[in-house]
Chain A
């Protein structure tokens, strides 16, 4: 069974609206990550977390917030969605000392 799940799998949002992307992992991993993928830019790290109730900024955090209420759950929040945030978003988890990334299935977000 899938160890990293994301919801929704796809979403259409309006410009200026609030969007929340959710990620749940059953790997018992401490580390969780949010990436966006755009054609021509590869995977870019938005936010990550080493422990519940703590988040860190990645390479492109502007316009995004993150929340890690428990070890299993990690959310990405777009308070005011913009056209430029149309992309595929991947959540991942990894274990301390191993660092292999286990990716979720992705969420395709379209902002109109």
Chain B
């Protein structure tokens, strides 16, 4: 079945440094939908980015990601981390009419 792997459980950064959170996936389907959700403390997850187009960069709120079907990856990046970026980040995969698959999540902690 489908699966999503987020290799980092915790990423700790100093404010101003670049952010990169890894996401790789496995699926037998050729047109998956990939998502990044962000969850701040005591809140519910909300959508940050989504894509289903190969090799097209998608951006929102300073974050960006590119779906690469050749490497089954959808890494999340930001050029300069802010204190307010501290949160839990989930990568997720959905194929038509199949149950969504979430990665285990990466906690991003940004320090001054």
Q: Interface on A for B, CB 8 Å cutoff?
A: 33, 35, 41-45, 48, 50, 56, 58-59, 90, 94, 99-101, 103-106
Contact A100 B103 (CB under 8 A): no
B97 — which chain A residues lie within 8 A by C-beta?
Answer: 50
Quick one: which of A41, A43, A45, A50 contacts B45, CB cutoff 8 A? Answer: A43
B33 — which chain A residues lie within 8 A by C-beta?
Answer: 99
Quick one: which of B37, B90, B100, B104 contacts A99, CB cutoff 8 A? Answer: B100
Contact B44 A100 (CB under 8 A): no
Number of A-B contacts (CB under 8 A): 43
Docked pose: A35 CA to B90 CA in angstroms? 13
Docked pose: A104 CA to B45 CA in angstroms? 9
Given known contacts A101-B37, A101-B45, is B99 in contact with A58 (CB within 8 Å)? Answer: yes
Contact B45 A90 (CB under 8 A): yes
A interface footprint on B68-112 (CB within 8 Å = 1, 0 otherwise): 000000000000000000000010101001011011110000000
Docked pose: A34 CA to B99 CA in angstroms? 11
Contact B102 A43 (CB under 8 A): yes
Docked pose: A103 CA to B92 CA in angstroms? 14
B105 — which chain A residues lie within 8 A by C-beta?
Answer: 42-43
16 A-B interface contacts by CB (under 8 A)? A42-B90, A42-B103, A42-B104, A43-B45, A43-B90, A45-B102, A50-B97, A56-B99, A58-B99, A90-B45, A94-B100, A99-B100, A101-B47, A101-B92, A101-B100, A103-B44
Question: Closest CB-CB distance, B96 to chain A, in whole Å?
Answer: 8
Residue of B nearest to A6 (CB): B44
Question: Closest CB-CB distance, A24 to chain B, in whole Å?
Answer: 15
B50 — which chain A residues lie within 8 A by C-beta?
Answer: 100
Most chain B CB within 10 A, of A35, A42, A50, A100, is at: A42
Known: A101-B47, A105-B44. 18 other contacts (CB 8 A): A41-B104, A42-B104, A43-B90, A43-B102, A45-B99, A45-B100, A45-B102, A58-B99, A59-B99, A90-B45, A94-B100, A99-B94, A101-B35, A101-B100, A103-B44, A103-B45, A103-B46, A104-B44
Question: Closest CB-CB distance, A8 to chain B, in whole Å?
Answer: 15
